[in-house]
């Protein structure tokens, strides 16, 4: 089979016409080298009901705390999977085989999409690698769950729910959340729910827009990533002075928005639990753009 007969190339791309005459081992190695070591970070939308009760040992169930309270932990593996873009699948049979081999080694699911008649690649959300996206509509639900309000989880159990801090390193909010006082209060109310080193991205311009899936395997989210401006102006927690400092750089937002970010930083520093000054961890507030791939 010819390795070039089914090639699909972008306009203006240069073609190496002798590629198909290279040894098979060399061609395969070239395809493998064209693939990344790992899939880059992407955005995933937060959705409700991804919290579960923390298992309690039999010997501890009679303790007074567990008789009156249920600890809830956020389970990131319950989020919708992230689509992985693999352009090599559209080149030819050889390149597609290299891409599938790479996906299996990465633990990426390869699925045939009936509606689109093509292969799609999906992977679970990585809480230390990817970015958790909160639209304005979902932010209020997130805050309720942070404070232990779970209407759909066993309403007959009248014990108090206690939500544990979530271990997600990066999360993103729309710029509009800074303008509206009610949304700003939601940010303050959720600040206690993050632990460890954190980056809060403020997305300007076009906002990520995800499909509604609700477990429907015939649908798949579009892929969104952050489009960073190198060394853009941001707020960075200073562990020596116990306050946020502006890191100078190009401005993405209007000056008013940076004042609102500074205002938010005061409350985040005060309301985080434990307070940022008592943590051996960093926190950044960084304006960015998002791009759909």
Contacts for 264 with CB less than 8 Å, ≥ 6 apart? 178, 184, 187, 188, 285
Domain boundaries, the chain: 40-80+126-292
DSSP labels for 122-153?
A: EE---TTTSEEE--HHHHHHHHHHHTT--TTS
pTM listed for this prediction: 0.86
The DSSP letter of residue 56 is: -
Greatest Cα pair distance, the chain, in angstroms, is 75
pLDDT digits (tens), the chain, 293 positions: 444 444 445 555 566 667 787 888 898 888 888 899 889 999 999 999 999 999 999 899 899 999 999 999 999 999 999 999 888 888 888 988 999 999 999 999 998 887 778 889 999 999 999 999 999 889 889 999 998 998 877 777 889 999 998 999 999 999 988 877 888 888 777 766 888 788 999 999 999 998 665 556 567 789 999 998 888 999 999 988 888 999 999 999 999 999 999 988 888 887 776 667 677 678 899 999 999 99
- Give ∠ CA 225-137-226 in degrees, rounded to 5: 10
Q: 54-69 burial, b if ≥16 CB within 10 A, otherwise e?
A: eeeeeeeeeeeeeeee
How far apart are alpha carbons 156 and 293 in whole angstroms? 44
């Amino acid at each position: 089979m010819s390795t070039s007969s089914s090639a699909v190339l972008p306009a203006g791309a240069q073609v190496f016409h002798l590629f198909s005459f290279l040894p098979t081992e060399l061609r395969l190695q070239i395809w493998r080298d064209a693939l990344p070591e790992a899939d880059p970070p992407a955005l995933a939308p937060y959705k409700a009901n991804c919290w579960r009760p923390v298992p309690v040992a039999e010997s501890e169930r009679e303790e007074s705390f567990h008789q009156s309270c249920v600890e809830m932990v956020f389970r990131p593996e319950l989020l919708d999977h992230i689509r992985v873009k693999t352009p090599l699948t559209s080149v030819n049979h050889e390149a597609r085989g290299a891409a599938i081999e790479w996906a299996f080694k990465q633990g990426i699911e390869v699925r045939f999409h009936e509606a689109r008649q093509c292969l799609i690649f999906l992977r679970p959300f990585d809480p230390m690698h990817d970015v958790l996206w909160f639209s304005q509509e979902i932010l209020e639900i997130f805050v309720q769950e942070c404070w232990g309000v779970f209407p759909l989880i066993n309403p007959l159990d009248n014990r108090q729910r206690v939500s544990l801090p979530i271990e997600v390193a990066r999360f993103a909010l729309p710029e509009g959340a800074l303008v509206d006082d009610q949304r700003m209060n939601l940010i303050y109310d959720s600040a206690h729910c993050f632990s460890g080193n954190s980056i809060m991205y403020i997305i300007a311009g076009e906002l990520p827009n995800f499909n509604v899936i609700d477990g429907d395997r015939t649908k798949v989210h579009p892929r969104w990533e952050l489009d960073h401006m190198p060394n853009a102006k941001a707020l960075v927690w200073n562990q020596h002075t116990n306050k946020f400092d502006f890191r100078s750089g190009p401005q993405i937002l209007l000056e008013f928005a940076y004042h609102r970010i500074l205002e938010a930083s005061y409350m985040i520093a005060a309301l985080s639990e434990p307070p940022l000054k008592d943590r051996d961890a960093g926190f950044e507030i960084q304006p960015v753009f998002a791009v759909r791939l």
